[in-house]
Structure 1
Amino acid sequence: MRPSILDPLFAAVTTLDGVGPRVAELLQTLLVGGGDAPVRVRDLLFHLPSSLIDRRRRAEVATAPEGSIVTLTLRIDRHQAPSRGAAKSVPYRVFGQDETGEIALTFFRGQAQWLEKLLPVGETLIVSGRVEWFNGRPSMVHPDFVLPVADAENTVLVEPVYPMTAGLSPKVLRKAVTQSLERLPALPEWIDPGIIARHTFPSFAEALRRLHDPADGVDIAPESVAFRRLAYDEFLAGQLALGLSRLRVRKAKGRALAGDGSCQAAVRAALPFQLTEAQEKAVAEIAADMAEEDRMLRLLQGDVGSGKTAVALMAMALAAEAKAQSALLAPTEILATQHFDGLSPWCAKAGLTIEILTGRDNGRARAAKLERIASGAVDIVVGTHALFQDDVDYGDLGLVVVDEQHRFGVHQRLSLTRKGRMPDLLVMTATPIPRTLVLSAFGDMDVSRLQGKPAGRKPVTTVAVPIERLDDIVGRIDAAVRQGEKIYWVCPLVEESEKSELMAAEERHRHLSAHFGGLVGLVHGRMSGEEKAAAMADFKAGRTQVVVATTVIEVGVDVPDASIIVIEHAERFGLSQLHQLRGRVGRGSKPSSCVLLYRAPLGETAKARLEIMRQTEDGFRIAEEDLRLRGEGDLLGTKQSGMPGFKVARLEHHGDLLPIARDDARLILTTDPDLSSERGQALRTLLYLFGRDEAIRLLRSG
């Protein structure tokens, strides 16, 4: 049960004065992104100001900057009402001046009586609003703040500015936030006193008050102690939730999987290369985990082309030695088929049986596959989510390998391992993730990191070229096609849109087909699985030499003899995505190139992205730079992926607090795994506050 002390914060926003159904709907959009989750008083507390208006700083009329909100001290000179019979568009003007000049305060449909009372002639007033200049004369349309000089000392002149949504007035939002703060109960402290002292954190309530009632711009900066306090709270809630999930998995005992090394030796002999030092280290860590009775929960993180699949095959060989089956789960049919095609020759040489199961299988063929899997005759099953449908039974599933985990979502980890007798779980990702994001999203897992690339991988030459040189690029592609090379051409959209200048894949396909005829293929997300597979098969077999694609080729598509990739409108892609796309080339023996086609002028961030791409191929450095440039917000597509999107914390500013929160959470769960102590009870309150109550349910059912 949620602690009753939190009831005022979990009340619907419609219980606040001035918040009816229409305003509640707008708050729903603003605070929880629409959706079905009801918007609560709590959500207003975590909606923090993005800037502030400081009316204490006075400007002068003559130097008031165009388009800025300024605060002026004016003596009111005269009123100029529109003449009788004037059009409604003619405004009411009030003229005021200071020592430097005169300004018109402009009111459309202004009521004379009200304005004469608000702005009496001869009075000196403080007036604040946005200044516009017309023909060398300053004007302030509908000032948002008017105050007699004598009252200034007793009035709040610093006003927070919040992120808004269309139709919602700042005044209504501010009033709702103020009421939410008034409802904040006295909550028990959940942070360790030593951490509070070391970081000079204020209390939770004081931190919220400082942020919503700032005295200065420093108060709402992400580096302020108030902001850092709330970020730490959020990290601690997240790490506790992940830790409780891990405890639950550990409680459900696994089994030791160990073998005599024969299958692994056969795989080593079958591989056409030697494992790198990083791969050997990862294999040893996985083998040590699998030999334990506790279930393995390990993340295998590697850059594009670092050799994760070979490491996974070694783990699956170890499972086979222990007479257990393995399931390799891929997010798409293209990737599942590719894994199957890539692993099959190695498995054949090593004496391992392998099968593929996707949503496309049906009828007798599917029934026959299901029978072989259930009988235990298959060592490795590769597939999509079809592997976990109710009618799929395994002889003895001992290991689940998940490729591109962030495509599936964090919460599916437990459901993936319900088949079999508590199988071990190995998660792979080819998206290099900054260490702080690994902690926040995969804090319940042990991590193996594959640095570097296997021997023989060629570097990729990266150049940035303006779109005006398109003809030169097509000429270079022409020469490459004549030499038998294969080329990816990536576009951001499927079809031309009037709203966007971005080159559509279909339009570019038509353009390139005019040059190269039937040698140009097309792959995009709106095609069926069969159509995409056929187009990629044509490209792989050389029936086409240029494939125009959207980002469906971003992850895992493997055509070793593709040596050039052109990324159109590269300025519109994130750094990690550009890096993933570049990883489609440089997989064979030929020197490879990546052409970043951009449309000028470039913004500062886009310029920095393209420069980093030219400087380095190290995916981990690129991921860190991406985090620095644009924050964690959508680094891995948190909305689509099930990865955490933070309400308050920003990894680029607060990442240093995350390891502290993780260590604290681990210590708590070692000493008080049921959260039953006084601090444990306070931490339960924290979990509810930050929407991590799923972890409380794990605790109860554990």
Structure 2
Amino acid sequence: MAAPQRSYALSPAHARLLRASALDEDVSRLKYVSGAREEALRRLGIERVGDLLLHIPRRYLDFSHAYTVEDAPLGEVSTIVATVDRVLEKHPRPRLSVVEVSLIDETGVIQAAFFRQPWLARDIKPGDRLALMGKVEFAFGFKQMSSPHFEKLDERAQSGSIMPVHPVGEGISVAWMRRIVSGALERTDGFVDALPARIRARRHLMSISRALRSIHFPTSFDERDEARQRLAYDELLFLQLALRLRNDANLLDVHPVAHVPGAHVAALRDALPFSFTDEQERAVGEILNDMAEGGHVMNRLLLGDVGTGKTAVACMALAAVADSHTQACVMAPTSVLAQQYAVKCGPLLDQAGISWALLTGATPADERASIEERLASGELTVLFGTHAVLSEDVVFKRLTLVVIDEQHRFGVNQRNALRAKGPGADLLVMTATPIPRTLALSVYGDLETSVIRTRPVAGAGVQTRVLTESNRDIAYGAVREALEAGQRAYIICPLVAESDSTDELDDVPGSAPSLDADDGKAVPKVRLHSVERELERVRRTFPAARAEALHGRMPNHEKDAVIDAFRRGDVQILVSTTVVEVGVDVPEATVMVIEDGERFGLATLHQLRGRVGRGRDAGRCFIMTHAKKSGARSTAQERLEALERTSDGFALAELDLRLRHEGEILGLRQHGGVTLRFVDLEADVEIIQAAHDDAQEILRYAHDLASVATMPLRIEVVRRYGDVFKEVSGG
């Protein structure tokens, strides 16, 4: 009698694990992926199956509410499915092409016009079945759409369904992307969910497997929204876990120094010409406590508006480093700001017996060589500098504290390069740019925050007015009054020269009208002010005053000379770009005129006006704009009016969040760092708070996620955000 054959069927749990491992498979393992399509996917950043599943649709075509041509309501955005009857390309005037597409269904004819897209005359053919989504108008006897979204339909498109439209590129069509994504979902269906079931139940979240299917192929928009909530929660939770874990010295295999305050900290406190406020004292205590903990890498944000005394607080951290006989580096985004640190902190450090040096691109070669030698030997304790400190020749004997001012101005690679010079070094980030609460809980969730809201010495303040060109005499009158009183003024321009491109300016919502309107109408071009042209005008307007230019293209020694002359009063008017946004502290400067104010972000404008009114005399800031010429209320108007209403940087941060969402919050560019793909920082406040709280709870009971129960979380954290650990470890 033959022995019965043993069954080797996989258990359900084992099968789910195998499907989960499929997420890490190369995308070339999928059905339909080879040749040009594989190359196209890789150009989109899709290397693994998991990358593909997180490549979500940019929009959806709703066939469950599609209209016939006859029934489509006028003046409303509608979806219409029809067949192409005729395609014509017209050129009503030079450099303006219009592709007119006539489509028919069983009820009538509709015409679609596409401006400045001549390639569509080749891509759209008679007989193609299209889904159009746009506003329906009526003109010349036909229903019409102007530049609608459209999609070529294949045999899979069915009435009553919602069709995803994924982002694609050359070499792959939307239809092929749908097929490939569908195959990937089949291959991975039902895989292990890294999120514990108790958290899913408490937060009312669908499983990740269902969420991925629902975000790509939803049966309703409610289901799609529920799926996006799960993806947003995951994105926030795994980011929170990654950011917090990267400060654990045991996981990083680094050995932070326990900085114990001693004689240098006491001496520096005695050297201060003032006593700390309660807020400053609290910030000092939080920073020194973090630095004293040897098993944890400090990762702290010191947040304070302009003039709140962050520099003095940071000096205490530098003194703690001196007490540990190690080294610190303070990196600033501009030579102007780095020099300001040397001017303000240097004398205090000298009195406390702490050695320091300043290193910028303008440092003479012999002085630079001496600084590098003293750093390598450990003789030099504190180094202030710009990007020059990132040079391979700059080697520290033992770097244990990195201070970065205005971190958002540096790229991730630059921050990593500095921290790599001292693996495990504590980090203190300083900024005068207020961070909205939701952003602080998400992207900056690992940064313990110290906030200084009030100025130690209450300056006279700044009055802000928004003016159009017709009221320029008001601004110039204020400049004239300041000069007569022996005070100084700034004139700020967005460009250095008239020939400069505007591409490098802030991408500010509503900042300027488009020159290529979708309807083909001509839009007048606004001439932006440049430092070179404005300097000539200022010299003609105020001949008795000495006016000089300042911008980033000047050699460092020339910039330093101009700023020194402005501080001394030898120069009364500084015509500048935003290079003065941070680091220029001249109490005698009381008036600022900002040209083309709509071309600057809220953070920049708020920081700029903080340059005046820093002394006993009140400051006045005049923002010149073209935005008020528009009849409709624009985003630019709303932004500028907010600056007139309030000087509260935190209130402005929340407004900028509402106007811009997370793309660029008050200038906080990620520069290659972590970006949020599924999270809406304005709408997802509850999800952000929930993920923040859950991350803290998880790490409270499993601090390194090494238990069996939390291992899936750990694997997903490394899969998504492994690179964030390199910033601390230097690896």
Partner of 1:234: 235
Query: Contact 1:6–1:185 at 8 Å: present in 2 too?
Result: no
Q: Deviations over 1:219-249 (max 9, x none)?
A: 44xxx32111101111122122212211137
> Which residue of structure 1 aligns with residue 291 of structure 2?
290
Matched, 1:694 2:709: no
Q: Indicate which of 467, 478, 489 corresponds to 1:476.
A: 478
Q: Deviations over 1:541-562 (max 9, x none)?
A: 3232222222222233322222
Partner of residue 341, structure 2 = 339
Contact 1:233 1:686 in 2 (8 A): no
Distance 1:639 1:93, change over 3 A: closer
Look up the equivalent residue of 1:566 and give its one-letter code.
Answer: V
Matched, 1:633 2:659: no
Look up the match of 1:510: 536
8 A Cα contact 2:361 2:556, kept in partner: no
Q: Deviations over 1:39-73 (max 9, x none)?
A: 55544432334443333434673873258444489
8 A Cα contact 2:19 2:189, kept in partner:
no
Aligned partner of 2:695 in structure 1 is: 665
- Could you report, residue by residue, the CA deviation over 1:191-218 in whole angstroms, capped at 9, with x for unpaired residues? 1222211222111121122222233444
- Report the AA paired with residue 435 of structure 1: R
Cross-structure match for 1:462: 464
Equivalent position of 1:86 in the other structure: none
1:10 to partner: Cα distance: 4.8
- Does the aligned pair in 1 maintain the 2:653–2:666 contact within 8 Å? no
Q: Is the 8 A contact 1:9 1:183 kept in 2?
A: no
Give yes or no for the alignment of 1:354 onto 2:356: yes
Partner SS state of residue 656, structure 1: helix
Counterpart of 1:187?
A: 191
* 1:527 corresponds to 2:536: no
Deviation, 1:396, is: 5.6
Shift of 1:296: 3.3
Q: In 2, are the aligned partners of 1:56 and 1:71 still within 8 Å (CA)?
A: no
Tell me the distance in 1 between the aligned counterparts of 2:174 and 2:486. 62
Residue from 28, 45, 55 that aligns with 1:47: 55
Offset of residue 352 of structure 1:
3.9
Secondary structure at the residue paired with 1:355?
strand
The amino acid that maps onto 1:254 is: P
CA change 1:680–1:292 in 2 (3 A) is closer
Per-residue deviation at 1:453? 1.7
> Equivalents in 1 of 2:100, 2:204: separation in Å?
53
- 1:431 maps to which residue? 433
1:567 Cα deviation after fit: 2.3
8 Å CA contact retained: 2:233, 2:688: yes
Question: How big is the shift at 1:459?
Answer: 1.8
Decide whether aligned partners of structure 1 residues 3 and 478 sit closer, same or farther in structure 2, where only a CA change above 3 A counts. Answer: farther
Identify the match of residue 674 of structure 2 among 623, 637, 644. 644
Between the two proteins, what is the percent identity of the paired residues? 37
Distance 1:304 1:39, change over 3 A: farther
Alpha carbon RMSD of aligned pairs, Å? 4.4
Work out whether 1:214 is the aligned partner of 2:218: yes
Q: Within 1, Cα distance between the matches of 2:87 and 2:555? A: 67
CA, structure 1 residues 620+10, in 2 after alignment: closer, same or farther (shift >3 Å)?
A: farther
> Is residue 624 of structure 1 aligned with residue 687 of structure 2?
no
Following TM superposition, by how much is the alpha carbon of 1:9 offset from its aligned partner in structure 2, in angstroms?
5.9
In structure 2, distance between residues paired with 1:109 and 1:376:
69
Taking the aligned partners of 1:184 and 1:175, their CA distance within structure 2 comes to 15
AA of the residue aligned to 1:644: V
Question: Are 2:586 and 1:559 aligned?
Answer: yes
1:365–1:80 distance in 2 versus 1, CA, 3 Å: closer
Partner of 2:248: 247
Q: 1:614: how far off?
A: 1.9
Aligned-pair CA distance for 1:376: 4.9
Pair 520,375 (structure 1): closer, same or farther in 2 beyond 3 Å: same
What are the within-5 Å matches in structure 2 for residues 263-278 of structure 1? 263-278=264-279
- Say which SS state the counterpart of residue 565 (structure 1) adopts: strand
Q: Does residue 636 of structure 2 align to residue 609 of structure 1?
A: no
Return the letter of the residue paired with 1:64. Answer: P
Structure 1 CA distance, aligned partners of 2:101 and 2:383? 77
Q: Which amino acid aligns with 2:646?
A: T
Instruction: Select 1:451's aligned residue among 435, 450, 453.
Output: 453
Please tell me whether the aligned partners of residues 72 and 80 of structure 2 are also in contact (alpha carbons under 8 angstroms). Answer: no
Residues 25, 248 of structure 1: alpha-carbon distance in 2 compared, 3 angstrom cutoff: same
Give the Cα separation in 1 of the matches to 2:321 and 2:100: 81
| Contact 1:441 1:643 survives alignment (8 Å) | no
| Distance (whole Å) between structure 2 residues aligned to residue 454 and residue 306 of structure 1 | 6
The residue type equivalent to 1:505 in the other structure is V
Specify the SS of the correspondent of 1:474.
helix
Structure 1 length normalisation: TM-score?
0.81
Aligned counterparts of 2:101 and 2:357: Cα–Cα separation in 1: 80
Shift of 1:145: 8.8
Give the Cα–Cα distance (whole angstroms) in 2 for the partners of residues 540 and 605 of structure 1.
36
Question: Residue 85 of structure 1 corresponds to which residue in structure 2?
Answer: none
Equivalent pairs, count: 664
Q: In the aligned structure 1, how far is the partner of 2:355 from the partner of 2:100?
A: 83
**Kindly tell me: are residues 280 and 138 of structure 1, through their superposed partners in 2, closer, same or farther at Cα, counting changes over 3 Å?**
same
Counterpart for residue 17 of structure 1: 32
Q: 2:611 aligns with which of 568, 575, 584?
A: 584
* Bigger mean CA deviation after superposition, 509-518 or 443-452: 509-518
Quick one: distance in 2 between partners of 1:444 and 1:606?
A: 33
Structure 2 SS opposite 1:246: coil
Residue identity in the other structure for 2:658:
R
Contact map agreement 2:27 2:33 (CA 8 A) in 1: no
Return closer, same or farther for 1:493/1:14 CA change in 2, 3 Å cut-off: farther
Comparing 326-335 with 634-643, greater Cα deviation is found at 634-643
CA distance in 2, matches of 1:486, 1:452: 25
Q: Could you tell me which residue of structure 2 aligns to residue 653 of structure 1?
A: 683
1:697 CA drift (Å)? 8.6
Q: Classify 1:574/1:139 alpha carbon distance in 2 versus 1 (closer, same or farther; 3 Å).
A: closer
